[in-house]
C-alpha cells in the first residue's frame, strides 16, 4: 500500500533542500518537522550536480547521508529526478540541449527549464542519471515515491531548438504519413504554403507580421505536449523498473501546452499540484474586480481532480511568494495557510506538502518564503502548521473520500489549444470559463471538469445530471456520438455560441452551423457576428429576464423536423427578435444551444432557470463569499465551508450535523471567523 494518498489518512509534508543548508542543520530540521506533524519531505529536484558533478561521474554520497538520516529519524522521502536543471558543464559542452526562442537564440544556463525535450543528447543524459538514481535508491527504506522532473512546461512551454525542429517533422510524418495529408490538414493552399518535401516543413517560426498558419500551430501545441509526455514517460518507465512495491511516481503540475490527462494516464500514479493562492494578492497581479481571488485556486483544484480524484499537493504555499525580479507578494495573513490547506483537502487532496521548510537565502527565489524565514527561528507560520496538523487529526475519516458533483463542465485539449491560437475562439472561451466557474462558486454548486478523449465513456458523463460544454468549437463525430448518447439517456447539455464550426484540424466546416451539433441541438445558424463595440450590451429576453449575450452572437433558428423550441430571443440590435436560445428535446434528455458567450450574470441566469443553484439548500444557507465543497465516502458526505474573506461570515445549518473540527454537533446559525473553515458530516 502507498504510504500517502492511500485512502487511509490525510497528512502533511514539506519540500526540503539539504543542498542549501549545512549538513549539521539537518537533524534539527528533521526533528522540528516531525514535531510539527510533517511526515514526508520532497528532495533533490534541482540537485543534478550533487549526483553527477562532472560528466559521467556519479556519486550518491551526499544524498546517502541525508536519506540515511531521514530513515533513522522516521522521515519519509519523495525523491526527484533532477532533469529540470541541467548542470553548467552539460549546457556548456552540449548547447544543443538548450531550448531556443523563435529566432533561434538559445536560452542560456542560469535559471531553470532551459532544456528542450527532444535533444537526443539530453535524453541520453537524463536516461542515465534517472537509471543511476532509481537503481541506487529504488529500495531505500526512507523513500516512498518519486517525482519526475519539476513542473513540466512551467516557465516556458514553447520550444524552438534544432532538435525540436527535427522532432516536429518526425511527429508530423507519424501523424500524416504523406505531405498531401499534411497539406490538406493545414490548408496550405492558402497563401501558397504548400509543402513539396518534408525538409520544407518547420516549426512555426519567425514570420512576417508574426502570424503563423493556425493549423500548424494546433499541431505544434500537440507536438509540445507529446514531447513532454514522452520525456516524462521515459523517466517513469525507468523508475518503475527499480522502485519498491507501493512507491509511487508523480510529478507536480499543472501547466499549459500539455495533455495532463495523457501524462497522468501514461506515467503517474496520481498528479500532485502546486498551489499558490496568494498570487491573487500580489502587487503585480491584484485585480480588485475579481470576485474569486484565492478562491480561484479551486478552479485549478477541480482541474487536478479531473486527473486524479484523490491527489496530493506537492507545494502548498506557506509564506510570501516572489522572485527577485517579479511576483512581489505579501505574506499570508494569519489563518490563510489553514484556509488554503483546507481548500486543497476539500477538493480531494489527501497529502499537503508545504513549500518549503525554510526560505532560501540566495538565488532568484529568495523571496519564495517557506514555513520558516531565513534564520529558521520559531514563527507564526510554523505555529499555524502545528495547528493545522492538530486539526487534521480530526478529519482523518475523510481520507479517500471523493469530491461529489452533479454538474460538469466538459473540456478537451483540442479546444483548449485552439482557443489559445485563435482569438475569435479565445474571446468566448475565456469569458465563459471564468463566468461559469464564478457563477457555480457563488451559487454553491459543486462541479467537475470532464475532459473528453478517446477513453471517455458514457458512464463518465452519466453521473452528472447537467453538463456545460460552452464553446466546443472543434467537434468530432466520436465526441458528438458520446454527447448524443448522454442526452438521449436523460442528460442535459448546454452549448454556447460558435459550437461545431471547426474540424479536428481547426478548419471551418462547410456544413450548416453548428455543424455536427446541429441535430442534437435542433439548431440552425444562418448568420453570426461579433458584438460590435458600438452596439453596447446586447441582451436576450428569456421569459422576461434580460441577460447579456456577450462577445459573439449566433443568430439562431430551430431546425425543421426537430423538437427544438425557442426559449429566448435577442432584445437589441438589428437582429432583435431573432432566436438566441433553443432547447431541443432529444431522447430522454434535452440539449440547449445559446447563441453567445456566458458572462457572469448570464451564467447565473442559466443556473437559476435550470434550477441548479444551491443544491444543498435544504442543508445550508450560505453567504456568497463562502465556498461549499463536498467529499463523499461510503455514502457519507463531508461538507467543507470555507470563508475567503477577512470578515466574519454567518452560515445557517438547517439540519443537525457534526462539526468535525470542533468534534461536536451543530445546527442553526454559526459563525465562520475570517478565513475560517468548517467541516461538517451529515
Interface positions, 112-141, toward a second copy (CB under 8 A): 112-114
**In the complex with a second copy, which residue's Cβ is closer, 124 or 530?**
530
Closest C-alpha to 389, from 15, 16, 33: 33
3-state secondary structure of 133: helix
Closer residue to a second copy in complex, CB, 239/513: 513
Sole binder of a second copy in the list 13, 277, 376, 589 (CB under 8 A): 376
Q: Which residues contact 133 (CB under 8 A, 6 or more apart)?
A: 51, 60, 79, 81
Segment 54 to 93, residues that bind a second copy, using CB under 8 A? 54, 82, 85-89, 92
Q: Is 603 helix (H, G, I), strand (E, B) or coil?
A: helix
**Residue 178 vs 190, nearer CB to a second copy:** 190
Q: Which stretch binds a second copy (CB under 8 A): 30-38, 47-55, 68-76, 229-237?
A: 47-55
Scan residues 519-538 and list those touching a second copy (CB under 8 A).
Answer: 526-535
- For residue 522, the number of C-alpha atoms closer than 13 Å in the C-beta half-sphere is 25
Shortest Cβ 413–a second copy spacing (Å)? 18
Cis peptide before 254 (omega within 30 of 0): yes
Which of residues 6, 364, 565, 613 is near a second copy by CB under 8 A?
Answer: 364
- 303-322 residues near a second copy, rule: CB under 8 A: 320, 322
Q: What amino acid positions are annotated as catalytic residues?
A: 151, 315
Site for a second copy in 404-423 (CB under 8 A): 421-423
Any idea which residue has 480588485 for its cell? 288
Nearer to a second copy, 101 or 632 (CB): 101
Contact letters for a second copy, residues 208-227 (x by CB under 8 A): xxxxxxxxx-----------
Smallest Cα–Cα separation from 405: which of 85, 213, 629? 629
Q: Which of 242, 279, 323, 430 binds a second copy (CB under 8 A)?
A: 323
3-state per-residue secondary structure call for 474-511: ECCHHHHHHHHHHHHCCCEEEECCCCCCECCCCCECCC
In the complex with a second copy, which residue's Cβ is closer, 269 or 315?
A: 315
Residue closer to a second copy, measured from CB, 5 or 480: 480
256 burial (CB, 10 Å; 0-12 / 13-18 / 19+) is middle
In 3-state terms, what secondary structure has residue 267? helix
Minimum distance from residue 514 beta carbon to a second copy (Å): 12
Give me the least distance between CB of 433 and a second copy, in Å please.
18
Q: Name the minimum Å distance from CB 73 to a second copy.
A: 22
**99 versus 341: smaller Cβ distance to a second copy:** 99
Distance separating alpha carbons of residues 289 and 283, to the nearest angstrom? 15
Q: How far is the CB of 51 from a second copy (least distance, A)?
A: 10
Question: Residues binding a second copy: what is the number (CB under 8 A)?
Answer: 119
- Least distance (Å) from a second copy to the CB of residue 409? 24
Q: How far is the CB of 25 from a second copy (least distance, A)?
A: 10
* Given 68, 72, 124, 155, the residue binding a second copy (CB under 8 A): 155
Q: Which of residues 5-34 bind a second copy (CB under 8 A)?
A: 19-20
Query: Which residues in 556-585 contact a second copy (CB under 8 A)?
Result: 574
Q: Where is 229: in which H helix or E strand?
A: helix 214-242
> From residue 626 to residue 665, what is the string marking binding to a second copy with x (rule CB under 8 A)?
--------------------x-------------------
Query: Which residues, 584 to 613, sit near a second copy by CB under 8 A?
Result: none
Q: Give the separation between CA 656 and CA 666, rounded to whole angstroms.
A: 6
Choosing from 12, 15, 47, 339, the residue that interacts with a second copy (CB under 8 A) is: 47
Q: Which of residues 180-209 bind a second copy (CB under 8 A)?
A: 186-197, 199-200, 202, 204-209
On the CB side of 673, CA atoms within 13 Å amount to: 6
Cβ contact 539:564 at 8 Å: no
Compute the Cα dihedral for 210, 213, 215, 219 and give only its sign: negative
Residues 599 and 540: beta-carbon distance below 8 Å: no
Residue count of the chain, please give it.
682
Binding span for a second copy by CB under 8 A among 7-15, 375-383, 451-459, 626-634: 375-383
Binding to a second copy (CB under 8 A): which residues in 443-502?
501
CB of 493 to a second copy, least distance (A): 24
Quote the cell numbers at residue 645. 474573506
Q: Per-residue DSSP letters for 69-106? A: HHHHHT-EEEEE--TTS--HHHHHH-GGGB-B-TT--B
User: Which strand ranges, in their side-by-side order, compose the sheet holding 407-411?
Assistant: 447-451, 407-411, 466-469, 492-495, 589-594, 579-586, 564-570, 539-542, 545-548
Q: Cβ closer to a second copy: 65 or 211? A: 211
Helix axes 162-176, 179-186, angle to 10 degrees: 100
Residue 447 Cβ vs a second copy, minimum distance, rounded to whole Å = 27
Residue closer to a second copy by CB (options 365, 662) is: 365
Report the relative pairing of strands 311-317 and 272-275 from DSSP bridges.
parallel
Can you say how many angstroms the Cα of residue 605 is from the centroid of all Cα atoms in its chain?
27
Q: Please report, as residue ranges, which positions from 285 to 304 form the binding site for a second copy (by CB under 8 A).
A: 286, 288
| Residue listed under C-alpha cell 490563510 | 336
Cβ at position 161, least distance to a second copy in Å: 12
**The one segment of 222-230, 236-244, 331-339, 583-591 that binds a second copy by CB under 8 A:** 331-339
Contact with a second copy (CB under 8 A) among 241, 244, 326, 462: 326
Please state the separation of Cα 456 from the chain's center in Å: 18
Smallest separation, CB 85 to a second copy (Å) = 4
Q: How far is CA 426 from CA 110, 423, 672, in A?
A: 34, 5, 38
Nearer to a second copy, 272 or 578 (CB): 578
Identity of the residue, 87 or 615, whose beta carbon is nearer to a second copy in the bound complex: 87
> Does 360 sit near a second copy (CB under 8 A)?
yes
Residues 269-288 that bind a second copy (CB under 8 A): 281-283, 286, 288
Amino acid at each position: 500500500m502507498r504510504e500517502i494518498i492511500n485512502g487511509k489518512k490525510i497528512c502533511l509534508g514539506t519540500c526540503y533542500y539539504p543542498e542549501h543548508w549545512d549538513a549539521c542543520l539537518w537533524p534539527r530540521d528533521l526533528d522540528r518537522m516531525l514535531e510539527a506533524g510533517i511526515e514526508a519531505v520532497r528532495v533533490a529536484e534541482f540537485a543534478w550536480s550533487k549526483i553527477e558533478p562532472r560528466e559521467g561521474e556519479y556519486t550518491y554520497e551526499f544524498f546517502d547521508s541525508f536519506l540515511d538520516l531521514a530513515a533513522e529519524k522516521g522521515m519519509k522521502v519523495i525523491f526527484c529526478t533532477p532533469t529540470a536543471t541541467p548542470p553548467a558543464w552539460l549546457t556548456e559542452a552540449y548547447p544543443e540541449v538548450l531550448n531556443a526562442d523563435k529566432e533561434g537564440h538559445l536560452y542560456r544556463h542560469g535559471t531553470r527549464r532551459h532544456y528542450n525535450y527532444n535533444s537526443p543528447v539530453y535524453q541520453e543524459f537524463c536516461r542515465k542519471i534517472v537509471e543511476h538514481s532509481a537503481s541506487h535508491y529504488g529500495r531505500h527504506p526512507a523513500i516512498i515515491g518519486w517525482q519526475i522532473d519539476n513542473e513540466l512546461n512551467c516557465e516556458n512551454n514553447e520550444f524552438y531548438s534544432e532538435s525540436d525542429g527535427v522532432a516536429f517533422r518526425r511527429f508530423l510524418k507519424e501523424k500524416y504519413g504523406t505531405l498531401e495529408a499534411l497539406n490538406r490538414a493545414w490548408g496550405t493552399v492558402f497563401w501558397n504554403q504548400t509543402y513539396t518535401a518534408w525538409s520544407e516543413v518547420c516549426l512555426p517560426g519567425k514570420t512576417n507580421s508574426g502570424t503563423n498558419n493556425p493549423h500548424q500551430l494546433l499541431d505544434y501545441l500537440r507536438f509540445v505536449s507529446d514531447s513532454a509526455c514522452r520525456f516524462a514517460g521515459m523517466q517513469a518507465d525507468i523508475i518503475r523498473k527499480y522502485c519498491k512495491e507501493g512507491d509511487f511516481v508523480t510529478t507536480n503540475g499543472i501547466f499549459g501546452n500539455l495533455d495532463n490527462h495523457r501524462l497522468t494516464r501514461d506515467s503517474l500514479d496520481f498528479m500532485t499540484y502546486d498551489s499558490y493562492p496568494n498570487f491573487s494578492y500580489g502587487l503585480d497581479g491584484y485585480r480588485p474586480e475579481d470576485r474569486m481571488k484565492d478562491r480561484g485556486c479551486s478552479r485549478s483544484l477541480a482541474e487536478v481532480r479531473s486527473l486524479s480524484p484523490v491527489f496530493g499537493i506537492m507545494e502548498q504555499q506557506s509564506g510570501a511568494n516572489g522572485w527577485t525580479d517579479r511576483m512581489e507578494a505579501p505574506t499570508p495573513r494569519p489563518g490563510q495557510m489553514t484556509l488554503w490547506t483546507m481548500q486543497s483537502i476539500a477538493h480531494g487532496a489527501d497529502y499537503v506538502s508545504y513549500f518549503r521548510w525554510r526560505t532560501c537565502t540566495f538565488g532568484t527565489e529568495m523571496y519564495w518564503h517557506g514555513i520558516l524565514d531565513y534564520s529558521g527561528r520559531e514563527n507564526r507560520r510554523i505555529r499555524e502548521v502545528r495547528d493545522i496538523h492538530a486539526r487534521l487529526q480530526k478529519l482523518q475519516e475523510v481520507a479517500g473520500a471523493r469530491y461529489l458533483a452533479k454538474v460538469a463542465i466538459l473540456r478537451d485539449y483540442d479546444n483548449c489549444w485552439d482557443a489559445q491560437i485563435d482569438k475569435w475562439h479565445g474571446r468566448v472561451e475565456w469569458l465563459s470559463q471564468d463566468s461559469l466557474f464564478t457563477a457555480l462558486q457563488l451559487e454553491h454548486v459543486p462541479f467537475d471538469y470532464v475532459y473528453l478523449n478517446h477513453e471517455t465513456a458514457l458512464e463518465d458523463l452519466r453521473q452528472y445530471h447537467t453538463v456545460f460544454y460552452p464553446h466546443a468549437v472543434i467537434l468530432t463525430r466520436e465526441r458528438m456520438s458520446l454527447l448524443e448518447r448522454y442526452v438521449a439517456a436523460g442528460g442535459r447539455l448546454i452549448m454556447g455560441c460558435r459550437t461545431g464550426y471547426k474540424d479536428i484540424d481547426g478548419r471551418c466546416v462547410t456544413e450548416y452551423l453548428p455543424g455536427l451539433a446541429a441535430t442534437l441541438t435542433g439548431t440552425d445558424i444562418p448568420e453570426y457576428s461579433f458584438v460590435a463595440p458600438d452596439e453596447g450590451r446586447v441582451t436576450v429576453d428569456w421569459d422576461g429576464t434580460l441577460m447579456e449575450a456577450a462577445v459573439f452572437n449566433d443568430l439562431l433558428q430551430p431546425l425543421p423536423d426537430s423538437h427544438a423550441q425557442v426559449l429566448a430571443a435577442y432584445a437589441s440590435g438589428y437582429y432583435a427578435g431573432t432566436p438566441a436560445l433553443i432547447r431541443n428535446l432529444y431522447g430522454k434528455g434535452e440539449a440547449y444551444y445559446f447563441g453567445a458567450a456566458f458572462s457572469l450574470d448570464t451564467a447565473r441566469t442559466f443556473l437559476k432557470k435550470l434550477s441548479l443553484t444551491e443544491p444543498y439548500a435544504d442543508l445550508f444557507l450560505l453567504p456568497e463569499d463562502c465556498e461549499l465543497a463536498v467529499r463523499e465516502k461510503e455514502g457519507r458526505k463531508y461538507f467543507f465551508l470555507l470563508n475567503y474573506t477577512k470578515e466574519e461570515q454567518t452560515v445557517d445549518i438547517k439540519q443537525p450535523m457534526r462539526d468535525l473540527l470542533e468534534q461536536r454537533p451543530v445546527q442553526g446559525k454559526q459563525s465562520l471567523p475570517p478565513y475560517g473553515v468548517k467541516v461538517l458530516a451529515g
